[in-house]
Structures are given as C-alpha cells and as structure tokens.
C-alpha cells in the first residue's frame, strides 16, 4: 500500500504544513551503534566534526525534516517516507534490524576523510549492525492509505509522527528509573510497529523529552503522556477514584490558549498566546526557570507554573531544554539560557554572570544560573537553537552554527576539547559556506542541517 507523496497533495485542509525544502544533513559525535546513519561509509566510532551524510543525499533521498532521540534518529523525506536509524533495542526504528552478519566496511568515499581526525587506529573502529546504521524506511502499510506526515519527534526509546490532519502515531517504549514501563496500557513492553495514539486529534505540534511526550492542539490544549516520575507531564491531579493512565494522553494543568510547547529531557514548557511562559518537571538545577527548590536533590515543579523572569524579555520564538539546562530564543533573535553551570552547557563564563543570579552550593561553588541570561559571542540574529544532554547549539540568520558544552564524544563538533565553554563557530570542509538552518543534539551525537544548494551569508 502506497501513501500519497507530498507532490500529489494540491490543497491541504489543515493548519499543519508539510515541509518541502530539501536539506543537507551533517553529522558528528559517537557512532558506536550507528547513531550517525552513515551505514557502510565508515567504521569510525567517532566523527570529530560535521560530515555530510551521503546516505541522506538531498538529490536522491530528499530529507525535509529530522528528529533526534537519545541514541536514534528519524527523518521525513519529500516523498513522505519516514526513515529511521540508530539503536533499535526497544523498537524505536519500527523495522526489522536483525543483523545479517555483514560487518561495516570502508567505502571509497570514507565519511571520516578530512573530518578532523588525524589518526586511523584499530581502537577507533567498530563493527556495527548495518541495518541499524543505515537510514531505511518504516513500512507504509502500517499507516492508513493517503496518510501524509508533517513532523516527527524522538524520545530516548520511542518515535512519534504527526499527520497533516492532526493525528499522532508512535512506536517504541517508555522507561522509568526502574526499567521499562511499556508503550501503552495494552503494550506492556515494546510497541515494535506504528500505532495511532488514542485520544488525540487536531494536533499541531509534538515534542518529546527523554521519556515523555507533549502534544499541542489547534484549540490551545496541551496533552502529555509517558513517564511521570519527575511530574514532567504536568497533569491535574485527579481524585483517588480516577487516575488517568500515564501512558495515555491526558490534558496538562494549563489554561486554554497555549500557542507553543517545548521540553527538556525531564521537564516541560508551554507558552500562552498572551506571552506567559509556564514550566514544570525536574528542577534540581533550576532548569525550569523556577527558583523554588532549585539546587535541592530531586527538586520538582509539580504543576505548570509561570516563569516570571520572562516578563522582561519580550515574546519567545521557541523554548526547550537539555537535561539540566534550558534555552529560549526571543522573537528579536536573542538567545536566553539558564540552569546548570559546571558542565559548560550554558555557553556563558562565570565573569559574564551576575553574582545575584547564581545559586552556590554548600562549598560556595557556583552551580546554577537561576535567571534566563543573554548568550554573548554570537554574530548576527539567532533563528534557531538546540540542546543535547549537556551541549548546545544556535544557528544564525546568516546560516552559521555555533556550539558549546560537553564534548568528550565530539557531540559539540569541536575537536581537541572535552568541554567548550563559549559559543564557538562550527566548521569543517563540509559545512563551510553552507546555509545552515537548524541543529539537533542526542545523547552523545549531533547533527546540523542546511538548505540544499544554498550558501551562507557573510557575517
């Protein structure tokens, strides 16, 4: 059964827009389990700086949208296929990846060539499952005929797809600190093929944290489901006689009129059309922007709470987080960042922080930047940003990308540094002069994407 391609759709009766711009995809970081989707192009366990993924060629494949999880990724093509790659232990790829015992071999066009590596050693090579490491399509027969996709989202152990008419499909599983909790009340373990998520329609955006998902509807209602150990679902607490199942979507405790949503790994955000920003979930490093309990072990913001410090920064274009830090981009093109200091994920040095904005620990060490603070050192208006677990990116209007944070596995794409303290221009022979538009960070790998055939402006 074939699905309609994007080019077959004349006028779509929905607010969900189908992405159509073909993208070049550049990847870097750890590749131990095929997370970079390079297939048989390399045996290297780590790519130090961005390389063009030839398996996702703009000419032959036509990627128009990419989503990154903890150790896997998914992409949408111009022909309405969903491609997946990376670790498939819990059904995150929704396809057969039983290995055929064919080891990865170097191709004549080795993806690591001139990618910042000065040495080739046996210690730096791995044997990977090519069926996981190669981007391949999810079967169209799992979806109703004429299904058209507009957006993907990936958690640590699941994948989700939004359709043009506002329905959501998903596969994989959810996990808690004690192990797997299943995908749904009916699926006690992994859901290895796509199924429609019940109780959702009219959805316009989906976002996924490490183990939870939020969906925004056209009416301005937010639904959450998945693991709720850190109260990242932000639900209303029902009576003891009626507790909605956490693996089924249920509305968050928010007023009507929400216009945008975002997540960190274990915390969540919502933006109201009047400009008010709400956050909830894990807060041990103040990553929600709420100072109450920040710095305490296992600190949690149990219910959606207004982040009052945003009132002075104007309208936000986007907001989201990593594990212990968060990022917001304003409509004016500034980047605001806050949360954990000592892992360098903020991109702001101590001398540029106000002492009154810092929470110190019992040994008088600076641990938390509690107020959203302006990121410096980036030239030009910022149009997008991304947060990995402990590293970050911004992309400017002129098409340049900057990265910083934890880099021990090259996930920030800056060779020679385990930590990158300040925003540093991301460069390699593959991205030089390219019009980059966005970035995404996984656990220990990352990617940036650019408009195919477009060149960057001068800064």
262: left (phi over 0), alpha (psi -120 to 50) or beta: beta
- Encoded tokens for 420: 């990158």
pLDDT, average across residues 359-374: 95
**Which pLDDT score is estimated for 242?**
67
**Which pLDDT score is estimated for 457?**
77
**Which pLDDT score is estimated for 415?**
97
pLDDT, average across residues 313-328: 96
Residue range 371-417, pLDDT digits in tens: 999 999 999 999 999 999 999 999 999 999 999 999 999 999 999 99
| C-alpha closest to that of 262 among 206, 196, 210 | 206
Asked if the model's pLDDT at residue 34 lies above 70, the reply is: yes
Distance in angstroms (rounded) separating the CA atoms of residues 90 and 211: 13
**Average of per-residue pLDDT values in the chain:** 91
Calculate the alpha carbon distances from 414 to 116, 282, 411 in Å. 9, 29, 8
Distance in angstroms (rounded) separating the CA atoms of residues 214 and 232: 9
Q: Which residues sit opposite 185 in a β-bridge?
A: none
> Does residue 425 sit in helix, strand or coil?
strand
For Cα atoms 44, 208, 92, give the angle at the middle one, nearest 5 degrees.
Answer: 50
Distance in angstroms (rounded) separating the CA atoms of residues 222 and 163: 17
Instruction: Look at 7 and 141; give whichever has higher pLDDT.
Output: 141
Residue 43 has φ and ψ, to the nearest 5°, of: -105, 5
- Flag whether the pTM goes above 0.85: yes
pLDDT, average across residues 320-326: 98
Asked if the model's pLDDT at residue 75 lies above 90, the reply is: yes
**Which pLDDT score is estimated for 6?**
37
**Which pLDDT score is estimated for 314?**
85
**Which pLDDT score is estimated for 238?**
65
For Cα atoms 155, 158, 160, give the angle at the middle one, nearest 5 degrees.
Answer: 85
Q: DSSP assignment of 376-424, as one string?
A: -S--S-EEEEEE-SSEEEEEETTS-EEEEEE-TTSTT--TT-SEEEEEE
Q: pLDDT exceeding 90 applies to what percent of the chain? A: 83
Asked if the model's pLDDT at residue 336 lies above 50, the reply is: yes
Residue 56 has φ and ψ, to the nearest 5°, of: -120, 40
> Does residue 82 sit in helix, strand or coil?
strand
Q: Give me the residue label for tokens 């060779």.
A: 415
How many whole angstroms from its chain centre is CA 186? 27
**Which pLDDT score is estimated for 297?**
86
Residue 355 exposed, middle or buried by CB count within 10 Å (0-12, 13-18, 19+): exposed
Instruction: Look at 287 and 105; give whichever has higher pLDDT.
Output: 287
Cβ proximity of 210 and 266 under 8 Å: yes
Q: Where are the beta strands (DSSP E) in 69-184?
A: 72-77, 82-86, 136-137, 149-154, 158-163, 168-172, 174-176, 179-182
> Does residue 214 sit in helix, strand or coil?
strand
Asked if the model's pLDDT at residue 423 lies above 60, the reply is: yes
| C-alpha closest to that of 132 among 95, 167, 106 | 95
Asked if the model's pLDDT at residue 110 lies above 60, the reply is: no
**Which pLDDT score is estimated for 12?**
39
Q: Write b or e for each residue in 221-250: b if 16 or more Cβ atoms lie within 10 A of its Cβ, otherwise e.
A: bbbbbbbbbbbbbbbeeeeeeeeeebbebb
- Encoded tokens for 381: 């208006």
Residue range 114-169, pLDDT digits in tens: 443 433 333 578 889 999 999 999 999 999 999 999 999 999 999 999 999 999 99
**Which pLDDT score is estimated for 101?**
62
């Amino acid at each position: 059964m074939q699905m309609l391609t994007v080019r077959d759709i004349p006028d779509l009766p929905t607010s969900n827009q189908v992405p159509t711009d073909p993208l070049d995809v550049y990847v870097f970081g750890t590749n131990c389990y095929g997370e970079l989707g390079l297939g048989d192009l390399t045996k290297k366990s780590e790519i130090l700086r961005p390389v063009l993924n030839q398996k996702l060629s703009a000419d032959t494949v036509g990627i128009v949208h990419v989503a990154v999880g903890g150790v896997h990724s998914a992409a949408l093509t111009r022909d309405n296929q969903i491609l997946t790659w990376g670790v498939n232990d819990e059904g995150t790829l929704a396809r057969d990846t039983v290995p055929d015992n064919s080891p990865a071999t170097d191709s004549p066009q080795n993806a690591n060539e001139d990618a910042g590596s000065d040495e080739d050693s046996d210690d730096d090579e791995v044997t990977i499952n090519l069926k996981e490491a190669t981007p391949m399509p999810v079967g169209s027969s799992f979806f109703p005929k004429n299904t058209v996709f507009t957006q993907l989202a990936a958690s640590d152990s699941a994948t989700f797809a939004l359709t043009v008419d506002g329905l959501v499909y998903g596969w994989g599983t959810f996990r808690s600190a004690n192990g797997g909790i299943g995908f749904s009340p009916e699926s006690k373990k992994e859901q290895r093929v796509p199924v429609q998520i019940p109780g959702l329609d009219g959805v316009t955006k989906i976002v996924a944290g490490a183990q939870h998902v939020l969906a925004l509807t056209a009416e301005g209602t937010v639904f959450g489901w998945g693991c709720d150990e850190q109260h990242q679902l932000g639900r209303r607490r029902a009576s003891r006689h009626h507790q909605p199942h956490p693996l089924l979507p249920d509305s968050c405790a928010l007023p009507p009129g929400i216009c945008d949503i975002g997540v960190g790994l274990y915390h969540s955000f919502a933006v109201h059309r009047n400009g008010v920003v709400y956050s909830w979930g894990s807060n041990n490093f103040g990553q929600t922007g709420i100072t109450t309990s920040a710095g305490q072990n296992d600190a949690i913001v149990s219910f959606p709470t207004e982040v009052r410090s945003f009132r002075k920064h104007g309208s936000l274009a986007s907001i989201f987080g990593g594990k212990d830090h968060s990022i917001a981009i304003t409509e004016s093109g500034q980047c605001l960042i806050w949360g954990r200091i000592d892992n360098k994920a903020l991109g702001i040095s101590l001398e540029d922080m106000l002492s009154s904005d810092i929470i110190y620990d019992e040994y008088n060490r600076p641990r938390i930047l509690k107020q959203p603070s302006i990121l410096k050192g980036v030239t030009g208006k910022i149009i997008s940003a991304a947060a990995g677990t402990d590293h970050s990116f911004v992309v400017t209007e002129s098409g340049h990308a900057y990265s910083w944070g934890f880099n021990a596995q090259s996930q920030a794409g800056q060779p020679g540094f385990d930590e990158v303290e300040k925003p540093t221009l991301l460069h390699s022979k593959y991205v030089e002069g390219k019009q980059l538009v966005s970035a995404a960070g996984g656990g220990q790998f990352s990617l940036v994407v650019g408009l195919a055939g477009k060149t960057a402006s001068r800064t």
